Each structure stands twice: as structure tokens, then as C-alpha cells.
Amino acid sequence: MNRMHNDPVNFREEMIAGFCAAYPHIVQRVEGASGIRAVNAPQQGKVSVIVGGGSGHYPAFYGLVGSGLASAGVIGDIFTSPSGEQAYRVAKAVDGGAGILWTFGNYSGDVMNFGMAEMRLQAEGIESTTVLVTDDVLSAPKAEADRRRGIAGGFYVFKTAGASAARGDSLREVERLTRKANARTRTAGIALGGCTIPGQGEPLFTVEHGKMEVGLGIHGEPGVRVQEQLSSSGIAQLLIDSLMADAPADGGGEVAVLVNGLGGIKYEELFVLNSAIGPLLQKAGLRVYETQIGEFVTSLDMAGCSITLHWLDDELRPLHDATAQSPAYTRIGPDVQAVSQVVGAATGVVSSIGKAVQQFADSVRTTSASDAEQGVPGKAGAAARVAIADALAAVKGIETQLGRLDAVAGDGDHGAGMVRGMTAAEDAVKGFSGTARETFTKAGTAFQDAAGGASGALVGAFM
Amino acid sequence: MNRMHNDPVNFREEMIAGFCAAYPHIVQRVEGASGIRAVNAPQQGKVSVIVGGGSGHYPAFYGLVGSGLASAGVIGDIFTSPSGEQAYRVAKAVDGGAGILWTFGNYSGDVMNFGMAEMRLQAEGIESTTVLVTDDVLSAPKAEADRRRGIAGGFYVFKTAGASAARGDSLREVERLTRKANARTRTAGIALGGCTIPGQGEPLFTVEHGKMEVGLGIHGEPGVRVQEQLSSSGIAQLLIDSLMADAPADGGGEVAVLVNGLGGIKYEELFVLNSAIGPLLQKAGLRVYETQIGEFVTSLDMAGCSITLHWLDDELRPLHDATAQSPAYTRIGPDVQAVSQVVGAATGVVSSIGKAVQQFADSVRTTSASDAEQGVPGKAGAAARVAIADALAAVKGIETQLGRLDAVAGDGDHGAGMVRGMTAAEDAVKGFSGTARETFTKAGTAFQDAAGGASGALVGAFM
């Protein structure tokens, strides 16, 4: 296979330059180091998450640097670990004072080099810890699970770490959750053909027509055994069986599924593969929370694919779902979705309340203004009660959205509080026949009592 | 190259099934037709945008169905146009009463089949029109630009159509903008190797080592000429030269850049290619608005790549930038970004105003409550003036965000109006020595006068 390149010696440098030129709003080159950082890193007082390893695996690792994901990526030559010196420099550039979490695949070169950087940081008093990705069930038996290498499942580990750090968790907490994410992630894969490195004419390995390698490597190494090529459904069965034989004991019944292409097996083939995965997981008693299909960890143009299962629970799910934006992965999380919905809904509420106020004002105008002011019961009082009922209806209509919005900004009970308050206000003045002022005073007091909190005080006072 | 599949006869059906199983929150299968629709389509009163063509090009075309993008995609077998009957059924499923815009690459099979569907719709009184994608400058000379085929630049055409339809533009307007997007989009590409179709053992064409095809096709067809393989920089030069020789006359100086991989040329190679593109465009007097690098239109595992330039202007830029969510492409647009920022800021303002109100309440408590109520000037009045000044400071701090938020929900002047109103309120009571009630009444009237609009009335009344 021909590859496209200039002088292969400059490949890495030109690759980083071309990448940074494309995404200046998300990432930038770390001055004097072979790595990139998120433009918003470091964030003072927050943990920085650093990923890295050899290149040739895009979007792993540096395509996952951005907000809600990794703070920085250390970038080696194709399939070659970056040096400890480079890793150290990248870490220094994104130290935000709350510690550094390293997370990368379990390969000896990376372990050695990142380990050296970690020791230097610790010597300088910068807290630093490492979570190795060890998701490949076919690379070592269960009894030696810590010897397993990291492949596509790293995506979930990095996403968990990035989301945990972004919300301000402590280094210990980010580490705990990242370790948990790795412990609940399993991957197995196959390959139908090897990849070619820029500057070399031949692929690193070839697979005989009609055969396949089981237990792929992502550094151009062949799988752990060769067998007859199975159909897509047969491959799905083989891989799911391997994963289920190794399911985490306390995993629970809900998984996120990643169907990953290594470069040369393409999307359409992965969709066909996925058509067989759902029924197999259902048979295994697992509920699929979400499936993602695409190229998440590649090995240049290697014709391979893998299936990853990531067992979710109430702690990991919000981290999986959180908003993220990086060159290779953008996710609109429930926080942003709630905000978008509430803006649409709030526009409606403001216009409803505005209309109620307008109607109230009109009613008052048709009565004698001084009557209303002096406390004569009548139309203005009735109009006030209509306005309160209208406002209650409008608020009820967006209770859920208000709650979701408040879950982002506060404690999630804003929607319920508003409805509780408005209901109490309406009840207090139902059948009441006082003046507008008396009506609003009565309603305001009732609102304040029922809703409580800051909005209780503010809206109550408004009335 | 081996491919992964079951019985090739069922490839398309299994592919659609596996795809829909993965993204049920975004798309669903069109009942009884070879196509998918966005789960939120049709939207009554909005134009539906339909894309389609043979498969093997993922994420073109059906990966781009979702919100802010295409309403539906018609899906053919690999490299084979879907039938007119299938296209008709998909269109019927997403007719929202405001017309159908078809947009797809200029290939005779697609033109014929989608054309038949369009005629049937029109016969039923469903307004329907077509914009062909013709971005490949190497496929026909400038004088015969309407004979050109559609390749990677289709991404910009589909994005424009989807964003225009999503915001509620009329069919004529969506058509005009989509046509304009196509007229301002140019693509040129090369290939180093052909792709293999599932069920066939050999690639559709091969390229001799050290050679390259110039002017790639995306249906497995070779390029328009063969030449010596150039370096990445040489390829960038060749492609940019081809594009600039054909630049739209009235294009202006700003372009979006798409560096597309056809399947077998991988991300790292595309980054190296991109490192040469920036300087070439600068030399050509073009400013790069944004670059995207990845696989946007593929041809299975074909080792090819292309560069697309999309000339932006004030009309096309907002459509390019708009929020979109589909299985293959998610974008967080400026609307959502503004909303996210304002939620963060608003939390701060609410707490500032709450604090001011609290301080005011505390001050009142230290005065005689009846004094304040009965109109005795003093501490409560002073506290009221402090509260107003604090509120002004808080509002000023988020003027820009409020404006951006209002630009989404209204007319963009909410931030300015609030500041204007609060400034007037503060001015009105500066040096004033009345009671709290007098102070707030004076401030409220001034606010209402200065701010105007619905918020003027509401906040004024609040005071």
C-alpha cells in the first residue's frame, strides 16, 4: 500500500503542525514539547488529565484533548512511545495546582516513559498518579488481568477521567473513577489485514485470504491466533463470548457499546457487525444504554475491528453522558440539552406572563386607577387573580425543564419549587374578593412560604 | 483485501438495521422503505431535506441525518442508486407540508431515480425541488460545470440545506441557499489505491507503487489521469492549484476547508497534508475560517483524499456554524455556546441580586419596620440605593452574555436594555434621600422609561 507523506523523518512534526492548524479553537501545541494541550488548560484548581502514546492511532490519543476530555496529549512517533522528557514538559505546561492524572494504554514503553515524568513531577511536589488502560481481554488471561494491554476501551476511560476532572473532582476522586471505568471496560477484536507505516512499502503483517487474526494488536502486531475467517455474525458471537466470559463480577445489567474500526474495516461493515450484537447482548441479559460506531482507536489502515463493553452504573453514567468537545469527539450532554430546551420554553413563559401582566394593566385602566390604589375591591382584584392563575399555568408547562436547568446551576428543585409556590399563591386567592394589592400581597406571602429558598423570597417579594 | 460480511445479498438490510440499532435517539428506519429519517422529522411547516445515494460512502449520506442536518436519507446498495419508488416512500414519510428539498451528488442513476420520485410528489401537489452537488472540479471543465460530479463538498451543501430548513426558511429560500452553497464549493482529490466491495476478493482498481490517480471517483472508479506520486506537499500544491484555477468569481476572501479521507488514507497523513494547505491558501489571499479533517465521504477503504474549499459569506457562515446533531456529525453552535455561558453567569447574578436583597432586608430589620413602611427616610432608603447599585454591577457583568442569549430567543438587545434600565434607575436615586418605597418607586419608573420593552415593564414593576 502506498502512503502519503513528505520525508518520513519529519512525519510527526508535520502531523502535529497540520493538526494544530486545523483546531486552534480547541487545542494548541505545547511550546517546546511533542504534545498538545486544550486551549482552556490548565484550569486552576482542577485536575489535569494527560493521555498519550505513539501516533498512528488517531483519534487516540491527541484527538481526545479538549473540554470535558483530556487536558493534554503527549505524542510519539508512529507506534513509538514519546520520551519521559516530552511527557514531563507537557505535564508542566498543564499543571493547574490540583494534580495530574496520567492515563494511557498498558505498553512497556509508555509505562516507562510516563513513569519517569511522574517521578520528576512528584520530586517537585506536583501530585501525580497513573491509571493504565487494560481492556484487551484476549491479550492475557483473567488471572493476569493487570498485564493486559489497552486498546479501544481506552475511550471510555479517558472520557470518564476528563468528565470527572472537568467538574472539579479531587485527584483522588478522578483517579478512583478512572480506575473504576477501566475495571468495568472490556474489549476484544479481530484483524483481516495489517497496516503499512509511512515510508515502508509493505504492511507489517498480512493475513491469508479467508483467514483472520483473533486478538488484534494496535501497533501493527498480529493477533494472538489465526483461524478461518468467520461471517460478521460469527465474529460478533466470538467477540461477545470472549467479553462475557470476562464480565466484571459486579457489573450490573447496563452497558455502553463501542464498535471500533481500526482503519481498513469500514463503517458499513461495522453496522452489519452491530446488527448481530444487540440480540447477543440481550441474550446475555444486558441492556444497551448507548452504542457508538466508528474509528476511535486506529492502527493506520489496519483492517481490524473490535467490540468494547463498558458497564455503567449511577456513578459512571453521568460522566459518560457529560458534554465534551475535542477535535475528534463532540457530545451535547444533558446539561446543554436542558439549557437549550429551557430557552425555548422560557421565551414562551415570559410572553405568557407578559400577556397576563398586560391584561391586568388593561383591567386596571378600565377601573378607576385610584379605586384600585385605594383598596376598592372589583375588577383589578379579579384581574390580579387571573394573572396569577395564568402565571401558574405557564410555570407548570416548563416545570421539568426548569428542574433540569437548576440541576446544572443548583440543586435541581427549581421547577418543583416554582410550581409549589405558584399553586399556593393561586390557592390563597381563590374565591378571594379583595383589591389587586391585597390579592398580590396574599399571593406573595403564600408563595414565599410554600416555595422557600432564594426564588421564594424573590418571587414572593415581586408579588 | 478481505472484507467482513454475512451473505453479501443481505448487506444493505443488515447495515441499515445495525445503524438504526445504534442511534435510536437520532434516527429511525422508514417503515417499508430503504431509508432512514430523523426521529424529529417531519416538522410541520418546515421544509424537509432529503439526501441519498448508493452506500459505501459513510458518513455520506445517511450519517448526516439528524437535527440541523438532513431530515431523511435514501439508501442504495453499495455504489448503487436507490430506486425511485424507495425515494418516493422516504419523501412521503417526512413531508411536513412545507415542501421537500432533494440534494445529492450529480450521478445519472441518482438523478434519474430521485427525479422520478420528485415528479410523483409534484403530481400529488407536494412541492419538491432538487439541488445537485457538483463540486468535483477535476471531473469536467469549467465550461461544463453542471456536468461535474458530487464528492466531499456535498458535506457543506447538506449542512447549509439542513440549517436553513431547521430555522424555518421557505422551500424557495432553502433552495436558493443550498444552490449558493454548491456554487461556492470546490473539491479536488487523488487516490493511491482502490477499494474492495464486500463479497469480492479484489479491489476495483489498483494503483502501481509510486503512482497516483488524479481526480478520484468515489464509486470505485479510478481518477481521470495517472501520474508519479507526489509528496504530501506536492499533492497539496496540485490540489489547491486546481481549486484556485476554478475559484468562484464573487467568492470573497474567506473559506472553510475540508480535508477528507476516502477510507484508506488515514488521519495522520491528512494532518501532514494540512500542514501544507494553510500557507498555500494564505499565498492565494484566502483566510481560513475553519478546517475540518476526517472521513466525510468515503469509498469503502479506498486510499484517497481530497481537499474542499467552501467560500463563506455573511449568509452562509451562520448556516455553517449552526448547531447540528447526527450520528456522524455533532456541532455545538454559537447559540448553544451562548446559552451555556449565560447559565454560568446567571447563577452568579442571581446570587448577587439575592445578596443585595438580603442586605436590604437586614438593613430594614435594623430600622423600625413601621418607620420604613410609613415613609420615614433613613437606613432602609440608603439600603435600597445600595441594592440597586449592586444589581447594576451584577447586570453589567453579564451584558454580553444576556445579549447573546436574547439573540437566540429574541432580538439581541436584552443585555443592553437591562444595563440601560439599571443605569437610569441608579442615576435617578443617586443622592436621593427618600424612604425605601420612594427609592424603589423612583428607580422603577426610571428603569421602565429607559429600558422599554417587556423586560422594562416587568423589572420596572418589580421595583
Residue-wise DSSP of B267-311: HHHHHHHHHHHHHHHHHTT-EEEEEEEE-SS-BTBBEEEEEEEEE
Cβ atoms of B417 and B451 closer than 8 Å: yes
Chain A residue with the nearest C-alpha to that of B460:
A462
pLDDT at site B368: 46
Q: How many CB pairs under 8 A join A and B?
A: 254
The predicted complex's ipTM stands at: 0.81
User: Mean per-residue pLDDT for B94-112?
Assistant: 97
| Beta-strand runs (E) in A380-432 | none
pLDDT at site B221: 80
Is B274 close to A23, i.e. CB distance below 8 A?
A: no
pLDDT at site A220: 78
Least confident range from A327-341, B134-148, B163-177, B439-453: namely B439-453
For residue A168, pLDDT over 70 is answered with yes
- The CA distance from A290 to the nearest CA of chain B, in Å, is 7
How many Cβ atoms from other residues are within 10 Å of residue B265's Cβ?
29
Is B272 close to A5, i.e. CB distance below 8 A?
A: yes
pLDDT at site B200: 86
Q: Residue B226 class from Cβ within 10 Å (0-12 exposed, 13-18 middle, 19+ buried)? A: middle
Which residues partner with A225 through β-bridges?
A214
Chain B positions touching A19 (Cβ under 8 A) are 271, 274, 293
Name the most confidently modeled range: A333-342, A368-377, A439-448. Answer: A439-448
- The CA distance from A143 to the nearest CA of chain B, in Å, is 32
Chain A positions touching B269 (Cβ under 8 A) are 3-5, 198
Tell me the average pLDDT of chain A. 87
For residue B202, pLDDT over 90 is answered with no
Is A264 close to B268, i.e. CB distance below 8 A?
A: no
Three cell numbers written together for A441: 400581597
Is A271 close to B22, i.e. CB distance below 8 A?
A: yes
Residue A223's pLDDT band, with cuts at 50, 70 and 90, is confident
Q: Which residues have CB under 8 Å from B126's CB, separation 6+?
A: B91, B95, B99, B100
Distance of alpha carbon A345 from alpha carbon A343, whole angstroms: 5
Chain A positions touching B19 (Cβ under 8 A) are 271, 274, 293
> Which one of A16, A271, A290, A459 makes the best mutation probe of the B interface by having the most chain B beta carbons within 10 Å?
A271
Phi/psi-derived region of residue A86, left when phi > 0, alpha when psi is between -120 and 50, beta in every other case: alpha
pLDDT at site A176: 98
Chain A residue with the nearest C-alpha to that of B16:
A271
Widest distance between CA atoms in chain A? 97
Is A19 close to B58, i.e. CB distance below 8 A?
A: no
Three-class DSSP category at A455: helix
Alpha helix stretches (DSSP H) within A106-153:
108-123
| pTM metric for this prediction | 0.81
Q: Which residues of A does the annotation mark as catalytic?
A: 219
Residue A423's pLDDT band, with cuts at 50, 70 and 90, is confident
Is A2 close to B198, i.e. CB distance below 8 A?
A: no
Q: Which among A18, A193, A267 has CB closest to B272?
A: A18
pLDDT at site A371: 47
- The CA distance from B69 to the nearest CA of chain A, in Å, is 15
pLDDT at site B24: 97
Q: Which residues of B does the annotation mark as catalytic?
A: 219
Is B353 close to A462, i.e. CB distance below 8 A?
A: no
The half-sphere exposure of B72 on its side-chain side, counting CA atoms within 13 A, is 30
Chain A positions touching B263 (Cβ under 8 A) are 264, 266
> Which one of B271, B325, B414, B462 makes the best mutation probe of the A interface by having the most chain A beta carbons within 10 Å?
B271
The half-sphere exposure of A247 on its side-chain side, counting CA atoms within 13 A, is 17
Residue B389's pLDDT band, with cuts at 50, 70 and 90, is confident
Distance of alpha carbon B295 from alpha carbon B261, whole angstroms: 5
The 10 Å CB-count burial string (b at 16+, else e) for A212-235 is: bbbbbbbbbbbbeeeeebbebbeb
Q: Percent of chain B beyond pLDDT 70?
A: 81
User: Mean per-residue pLDDT for A146-160?
Assistant: 97
Three cell numbers written together for B277: 494547505
User: Mean per-residue pLDDT for A275-289?
Assistant: 98
Residue A368's pLDDT band, with cuts at 50, 70 and 90, is very low
Strand order in the sheet with A27-29: A27-29, A35-38, A72-78, A48-55, A100-105, A128-133
For residue A140, pLDDT over 90 is answered with yes
Distance of alpha carbon B355 from alpha carbon A187, whole angstroms: 52
- The CA distance from B291 to the nearest CA of chain A, in Å, is 5
Three cell numbers written together for A430: 381563590
For residue B374, pLDDT over 60 is answered with no
Distance of alpha carbon B361 from alpha carbon A201, whole angstroms: 80
pLDDT at site A426: 79
The helix or strand, by DSSP H or E, that contains position B419, with its residue range, turns out to be helix B414-429
| Beta-strand runs (E) in B123-162 | 128-133
Q: Which among B4, B21, B264 has CB closest to A269?
A: B4
- The CA distance from A268 to the nearest CA of chain B, in Å, is 6
Q: Which residues have CB under 8 Å from B185's CB, separation 6+?
A: B133, B135, B153, B156, B157, B308, B309, B310, B311
AA letter at B170: S
The half-sphere exposure of B78 on its side-chain side, counting CA atoms within 13 A, is 25
Closest CA to A255 of A307, A203, A209: A307
Three cell numbers written together for A351: 410572553
Chain A residue with the nearest C-alpha to that of B190:
A4
User: Mean per-residue pLDDT for B383-403?
Assistant: 68
- Its sign, for the CA torsion B229, B232, B238, B239, is positive
Chain B positions touching A332 (Cβ under 8 A) are 323, 325, 330, 332, 336
Q: Give CA torsion, residues B5, B9, B14, B19, to 10 deg.
A: 80
Chain B residue with the nearest C-alpha to that of A257:
B22
